[in-house]
Structure 1
Amino acid sequence: MEHVDAVVIGSGFGGSVAAYRLAEAGRSVVLLERGQPYPPGSFPRSPQQMGRAFWDPAAGLYGMFDVWSFKGCDSVVSAGLGGGSLIYASVLLRKDERWFVHDEPLPGGGYESWPISRADLDPHYDVVERMLGAAPYPLDRPPFDDTPKAHAMQDAAAELGLQCTLPPLAVSFSATPGGAPGLSLPIADAGHRNIHGVGRRTCKLCGECNIGCNEGAKNSLDHTYLSAAAHHGADIRTSREVKAIRPRPGGGYEVDYVHHTDLTAKKARPPVVTMSCDRLVLGAGTYGTTFLLLKSRKAFPGLSRALGTRFSGNGDLLTFLLKAKDRNRVRPLDAARGPVITSAIRLADELDAVPGAGRGAYIEDGGYPGFADWIIQGFDAGNEIERAVKFLWNRFTEFFKDAPDTNLSQELSDLIGDGALTVSSLPLLGMGRDIADGRLHLREGRLAADWTSRTSEEHFRRVRKTMQGIADVLGAEYADNPMWFRKRIITVHPLGGAPMGATKDEGVCDAFGEVFGFPGLYIADGAAMPGPVGPNPSLTIAAQADRLATRLLEGVPARGGAGTVVSVPDDTGAGPAGGAGPPDGAGGVPGNGTAYGPRSGGGTITPLPRSEPVPEGRGGVGGSIAVALDRTSLSFTEEMKGFVTYGVTDPRAGELADERVRLAFRLTITAEDTDRFLAEPEHAARAEGWIDAAGRGGRRPVRRGWFNLFAPGGAEDRRLMRYRLYFTDGENRPRTLVGHKNVLHGPPTRIWPDTSTLYVRILRGHVGEHAEDGAEVLAAGVLHIQLTDFARQLTTFRTTGPGGAGKLVSFGRFFAGELWEVYGPDLD
């Protein structure tokens, strides 16, 4: 049976991000996508192509539109390489900070509760926005300024006293990031080969985002995360539909899938292929992931009873503005010009300290392809008939004239009409905080949903009333979508079904997407959302998947066997002398042993603390290997956030300066030998993880890192917690973050501020401890541990090796004893 480190199911906003992060970290990754790839130029447009553009393999249909009809709602999702990004409108809005609710009651009982916060996601939002090339619509630059619907939305919002913005879009309007925008310009290569091998061009304002961008202007996941994942070695397999999953005896998981090899006709059921993995990431979308878990429930005994719950449509509502007028003249709205969405009007939530506002929402302009104007104009039946009768009557009367008019240009122009209906009409898209009380379940082996708009009636009433107000301002007629008479909605943002929660009783997975009771099984897509996101959820799903991948990688050994190959770093960044290193996996020890060997060669290397002695036999040809299996390691994870200012050398000044920028890190601190760690005066440990420097390259991996706990501070009643982290900035220039927590004698009330405040400086180059005084300081500032992060940190302590529980107790006693030594009363 084929076995890999990780299998990722689905290539949407969860699966693509997870696959990229794992591949980038050197893991062996297979991504299974049921749909097919769609290079620019291959999306269906003709009636014959559109007729087969739907997903139903049993009927021989393998297209990208997967349409569901449930009790209370209809839904459209996508099948294809890139998942929902192929048909979404490219909006990248963050979930509002105050909308991460806790224990908000649901009408039928229970609560909507988010175990994560905006602060948890902000660093990951930053990363995803950069990767997807987020940029607002350039409405102030010609020819993009000629976009009537965007101006109309701004005018309506101003008249109604509402907030209207140009949201970030994952669309390339310029050939290079930050370049001058222009129509149909060749897009520069992003630095990794595009997975399709086909050139892309900037947006030409054709309104075809939702049916697949044939220009390649949309920065969909196939052009971004999936291309980068393939560049780093991910094995991306299309037309593979997963049928079942289950735990693997002895650990890990097995996946059954079928390969749709013939996409031209209905055929017999293809054979099932089974593969196994150490970690399994579910990114098949809200419906696909929940369906898989429901079908495989017997294989996962003890799976949370929350499976299938918290389903919602993210408050989606589609309506229309028709025949807009200004002073009895046709007001152009031109829905077919521009990307599908350019603007967003935000409706405040009572959580925003606006009493009586209700639940928050967004209203966005819609669009459609230009060729659809011919279809839509046909709905203006009354005028069509009138024009046809007039044309026939004129031709009849001309027949009897002695000198008939032989030029029919005007008559034909009048017959076609002025297109007033299409040029003055506009879809409106609403979404927001509806009630997440729907349920997904199986009915005779098929996925079914129980959902009703009744419990969210207040939300829909408010959104419709605001849309009617927009219609009034623009002199337009308001129309609900044809399904609303039955109080049915059409959602393109289904969420929930396998929600995250603080406990197993509350959710299927934890705040990092790991399924309760099944280590290594992760949910990375919209199914994990415990309630509505509010704005378009794609960015939040991707950010949570990035956060999930960070946590997953913190506990996963590098490729190359169960053992870990380690080496001792020096201060210069140069590797140790010695011969060729072991190939991938060489030097590994069965189980969780640690092997020492040279850093060069194919083996994956993890640095040791500076104080770790060099094992005998290090270096030389091949490198001798020393193995230690009788010691117990201890690790924990720490996350700190704050601000630094470039050009400042004093940390306190850097924290407060007007030009400050956000800085954060997440580190896993590991003491390979707990006994030695507690005994040595420097208490040195290894630090691994990432640093996120806003505007200076974003999140960057820590190349090498050292941490000292309660190291001597020059006075008997002073201790230092020291950090030294090697990383590179966005231009791959070496940088060092050095920092310390100043644990100084004082009242016990100083314990928390002293141990949670880190004074940091960023130095040019990779600077060793003894060269620090002469190093150039590029920036300085202060980081803090938030109370919520500290509470999570307490849950991350782990030990590996014999007597782990006792070692953890010893560490706790040491920590408390050091605090007593510093902050305890003076008994002299």
Structure 2
Amino acid sequence: MTQCQDDWIVVGSGFGGSVAALRLAEKGYDVTVVEKGRRFADADFAASAWQVGKLLWAPFVGLHGIMAMTPFSHVTVISGVGVGGGSLVYGNTLYVPHSDDFYRHPQWSELADWRSALAPHFDTAKRMLGVTTFAGDGPSETLMRAIADDLGVADRCHPTDVGVFLGEPGVRVADPYFGGDGPDRAGCIRCGQCMLGCRHNAKNTLEKNYLYLAEKRGARIEPGRTVVDITPIGAADGSDGYTVTTVRSGAVLRRDRRTVTTRGVVIAGGALGTNLLLRKLRDRGSLPRLSDRLGHLVRTNSEAIVAVTAGDRAADLRSDIAITTSIHPTDQIHFTNNTYGLGGDAMGLTFGPLTGGRMRLAQFVVAVLTRPLRWLSPTRMSGWSRRSVVFTIMQSTDTALRLRRRHRFGRINTTLGDGPAPEGDLPIARTIAESALRHIGGYGSTAITESLLARPTTAHILGGAVIADGPEHGVVDRYRRAFGYRDLLITDGSTVPANAGVNPSLTITAMAEEAMVHVPDKGAMPTGLDSAAGESRLSAGRHRP
């Protein structure tokens, strides 16, 4: 039998991968985390969105930032990159889904009572991520209450639960979360630049909790490495272990190709990264047993993104942190306010004229021609992030896409076929923008791919390797084990079977916590994790940080 170098290799260090790293290390396993992005110290994050090398991820052109933008035929995907994954760039908001559209979706409803099964793990995730309720009342919050009044849902407007240390601004203190086992922290200075990366040690990124504690327990993190192959050793089902091959991220020459062996692999590269990697491995024959359902039921959280910019150039609509207020007009619809502080002016370049309905390209052209100074002036971005509020609208409606190759050697792209496609034009989004403009004046805008192409933009892609009762319906079982393989787990957003209708970070964390409960402690089994092992460890229990 091959002597494996690692017990487990975790691919990706976002919410799902970080949970896996800590819990496996706690169970006594030797763990290595491979992350394609770089490792950031707090001071390394961008002070302004104009610092594109620190903000955007496009390594082939020398950009090694925290955010990737990936266009497909039916959606543009925004995703986090770096040690800590999406926690580096997200807006700190951490929600428990409330709609039965999620918990009782037929894709997984017969496998468990998910509302009950996940409840203790949501509690654990909240504790680990330091969830607290924001308290503040600035112009952005006032605007949100006014919109809620316009919509007739004033009672459905509330402050957000966030993962931020809201201590005394700028004051450094000993670990406030884990009884001294975690890192020192500093109180939030209310700059509002959370989505550019927190430079002030206040945002509860995964490097401040799960990953920090995992490393203290012996886990190793290898940043700047991209996994390009995973192949079973010996037995085709991976029961003898796997070889994992990595290269330097973005390198064309001197790729520094390395191959290591491991007893098990946890895939947690984010929903997009996991789908793209597994599709390549299945197509090339490295993991041929993966279900034919790989790439099906890809979700966008049925999102739309619109913005309003105050006409008064002296206006200041900033919030203390990136997202402070949530409104639920219905049980299926949820939207938030998003601001970028003073450093986000360049983000305005990703927005174009507010369009909707039919002939959006024509509307776009007409808007630019009739107001050229608004849209074409080199100075139009000056003060944009101070004067603008971005609204992210999320829905738990049952929309989906597929990710696959249209031709044998073609690019992996989105196609239709798993029910209704995500809409590129949500009437509720225009209603929200129009309400906001009645209160602040100015003009509305839409994410530019929506303006031009009616193609939605999402920062919350889910699915593609979803939970199911068998390989004919999905890619992983109820315990997140890939059908057809031993000790090959998937613990990120790709396994989420339905639109959560809220920012899914807490959901991904809780689901990963639940999955890790069923992995036995090291030494508890002579061979790999199998169905009997999973069935024997159904009691949830609570992890200690």
2:218 pairs with 1:233: yes
In the other structure, the counterpart of 2:10 is 8
What is the 5 A alignment of 1:661-676? Answer: 666=540
In the other structure, the counterpart of 1:802 is none
In the other structure, the counterpart of 2:27 is 25
In the other structure, the counterpart of 1:257 is 245
2:120 pairs with 1:135: no
What is the 5 A alignment of 1:619-638? Answer: 637=536
In the other structure, the counterpart of 1:334 is 316
Alpha-carbon distance between aligned partners in 2 of 1:446 and 1:537, rounded to the nearest angstrom:
27
Deviation, structure 1 residue 545: 0.4
Deviation, structure 1 residue 288: 1.4
What are structure 1's unaligned runs of at least 5 residues? 105-110, 140-144, 175-181, 325-329, 350-359, 387-415, 564-590, 593-632, 640-664, 667-689, 691-698, 702-729, 731-828
Q: 2:149 aligns with which of 150, 158, 164?
A: 158
SS in 2 for 1:14: helix
In the other structure, the counterpart of 2:359 is none
What is the 5 A alignment of 1:642-791? Answer: 666=540, 690=541, 699=542
Alpha-carbon distance between aligned partners in 2 of 1:72 and 1:35, rounded to the nearest angstrom:
26
In the other structure, the counterpart of 1:86 is 88
Is 1:40–1:200's contact at 8 Å kept on the other side of the alignment? no
In the other structure, the counterpart of 2:292 is 305
| Structure number with higher strand proportion | 1
Is 1:244–1:257's contact at 8 Å kept on the other side of the alignment? yes
The 3 A distance-change label for structure 1 pair 634 and 447 is closer
Name the TM-score, length of structure 2 as normaliser.
Answer: 0.82
The 3 A distance-change label for structure 1 pair 310 and 475 is same
In the other structure, the counterpart of 2:403 is 440
2:211 pairs with 1:246: no
Deviation, structure 1 residue 483: 2.6
The 3 A distance-change label for structure 1 pair 296 and 497 is same
Alpha-carbon distance between aligned partners in 2 of 1:47 and 1:441, rounded to the nearest angstrom:
33
What is the 5 A alignment of 1:385-396? Answer: none
Q: 1:371 aligns with which of 343, 349, 357?
A: 343
**Letter of the structure 2 residue corresponding to residue 192 of structure 1:** D
**Letter of the structure 2 residue corresponding to residue 479 of structure 1:** S
2:414 pairs with 1:449: yes
**Letter of the structure 2 residue corresponding to residue 450 of structure 1:** T
What is the 5 A alignment of 1:573-612? Answer: none
SS in 2 for 1:311: strand
In the other structure, the counterpart of 1:428 is 391
Deviation, structure 1 residue 15: 0.2
Alpha-carbon distance between aligned partners in 2 of 1:634 and 1:5, rounded to the nearest angstrom:
17
Deviation, structure 1 residue 129: 0.4
Deviation, structure 1 residue 309: 0.5
Quick one: higher RCO (CA 8 Å, sep 6+), 1 or 2? 2
Alpha-carbon distance between aligned partners in 2 of 1:173 and 1:450, rounded to the nearest angstrom:
43
Deviation, structure 1 residue 164: 0.8
The 3 A distance-change label for structure 1 pair 55 and 376 is closer
What is the 5 A alignment of 1:266-305? Answer: 268-297=253-282, 298-305=285-292
The 3 A distance-change label for structure 1 pair 545 and 252 is farther
Is 2:108–2:468's contact at 8 Å kept on the other side of the alignment? no
Alpha-carbon distance between aligned partners in 1 of 2:489 and 2:425, rounded to the nearest angstrom:
32
Alpha-carbon distance between aligned partners in 2 of 1:56 and 1:635, rounded to the nearest angstrom:
40
Alpha-carbon distance between aligned partners in 1 of 2:74 and 2:278, rounded to the nearest angstrom:
23
Is 2:305–2:447's contact at 8 Å kept on the other side of the alignment? yes
The 3 A distance-change label for structure 1 pair 637 and 2 is closer
The 3 A distance-change label for structure 1 pair 216 and 461 is same
Alpha-carbon distance between aligned partners in 1 of 2:344 and 2:272, rounded to the nearest angstrom:
29
Deviation, structure 1 residue 299: 2.9
Q: Deviations over 1:750-776 (max 9, x none)?
A: xxxxxxxxxxxxxxxxxxxxxxxxxxx
**Letter of the structure 1 residue corresponding to residue 203 of structure 2:** K
Q: 1:186 aligns with which of 161, 166, 172?
A: 172
Alpha-carbon distance between aligned partners in 1 of 2:63 and 2:119, rounded to the nearest angstrom:
40
Deviation, structure 1 residue 520: 1.4
Q: Deviations over 1:98-132 (max 9, x none)?
A: 1235466xxxxxx6868451111110000010011
Deviation, structure 1 residue 308: 0.5
The 3 A distance-change label for structure 1 pair 456 and 290 is closer
SS in 2 for 1:319: strand
SS in 2 for 1:552: coil
The 3 A distance-change label for structure 1 pair 546 and 260 is same
Alpha-carbon distance between aligned partners in 2 of 1:305 and 1:383, rounded to the nearest angstrom:
50
In the other structure, the counterpart of 2:498 is 531
Is 1:97–1:118's contact at 8 Å kept on the other side of the alignment? no
SS in 2 for 1:320: strand
The 3 A distance-change label for structure 1 pair 451 and 169 is farther
**Letter of the structure 2 residue corresponding to residue 268 of structure 1:** L
Alpha-carbon distance between aligned partners in 2 of 1:533 and 1:279, rounded to the nearest angstrom:
29
The 3 A distance-change label for structure 1 pair 52 and 268 is farther
The 3 A distance-change label for structure 1 pair 363 and 315 is same
SS in 1 for 2:5: strand
Is 1:135–1:168's contact at 8 Å kept on the other side of the alignment? yes
Alpha-carbon distance between aligned partners in 2 of 1:636 and 1:454, rounded to the nearest angstrom:
35
**Letter of the structure 1 residue corresponding to residue 337 of structure 2:** D
Is 1:148–1:333's contact at 8 Å kept on the other side of the alignment? no
The 3 A distance-change label for structure 1 pair 345 and 331 is farther
The 3 A distance-change label for structure 1 pair 156 and 22 is same
Q: Deviations over 1:563-619 (max 9, x none)?
A: 6xxxxxxxxxxxxxxxxxxxxxxxxxxx79xxxxxxxxxxxxxxxxxxxxxxxxxxx
Is 1:245–1:292's contact at 8 Å kept on the other side of the alignment? no
Is 1:68–1:75's contact at 8 Å kept on the other side of the alignment? yes
SS in 1 for 2:272: helix
**Letter of the structure 1 residue corresponding to residue 207 of structure 2:** D
Alpha-carbon distance between aligned partners in 2 of 1:187 and 1:520, rounded to the nearest angstrom:
41
Deviation, structure 1 residue 385: 8.2
Q: Deviations over 1:409-467 (max 9, x none)?
A: xxxxxxx99x9976553211111124442011136364322269974449822343344
2:97 pairs with 1:95: yes
Deviation, structure 1 residue 343: 0.6
Alpha-carbon distance between aligned partners in 2 of 1:100 and 1:321, rounded to the nearest angstrom:
30
Deviation, structure 1 residue 185: 2.0
Q: Deviations over 1:258-302 (max 9, x none)?
A: 3539x9xx6514232222222211001112111221111123333
In the other structure, the counterpart of 1:794 is none
Alpha-carbon distance between aligned partners in 1 of 2:394 and 2:19, rounded to the nearest angstrom:
24
Alpha-carbon distance between aligned partners in 1 of 2:347 and 2:335, rounded to the nearest angstrom:
25
Deviation, structure 1 residue 79: 1.7
Deviation, structure 1 residue 252: 4.3
Count the aligned residue pairs: 504
In the other structure, the counterpart of 2:435 is 469
Is 1:56–1:62's contact at 8 Å kept on the other side of the alignment? yes
What are structure 2's unaligned runs of at least 5 residues? 354-367
The 3 A distance-change label for structure 1 pair 636 and 290 is closer
SS in 2 for 1:118: helix
Name the TM-score, length of structure 1 as normaliser.
Answer: 0.56
Alpha-carbon distance between aligned partners in 2 of 1:52 and 1:44, rounded to the nearest angstrom:
5
The 3 A distance-change label for structure 1 pair 85 and 374 is closer
Q: Give the share of equivalent positions with the same residue, in percent.
A: 28
Is 1:121–1:543's contact at 8 Å kept on the other side of the alignment? yes
**Letter of the structure 1 residue corresponding to residue 242 of structure 2:** E
2:67 pairs with 1:65: yes
Alpha-carbon distance between aligned partners in 2 of 1:420 and 1:271, rounded to the nearest angstrom:
44
In the other structure, the counterpart of 1:487 is 454
Deviation, structure 1 residue 205: 1.7
**Letter of the structure 2 residue corresponding to residue 448 of structure 1:** N
In the other structure, the counterpart of 2:205 is 220
Is 1:240–1:257's contact at 8 Å kept on the other side of the alignment? no
Larger CA Rg, structure 1 vs 2: 1
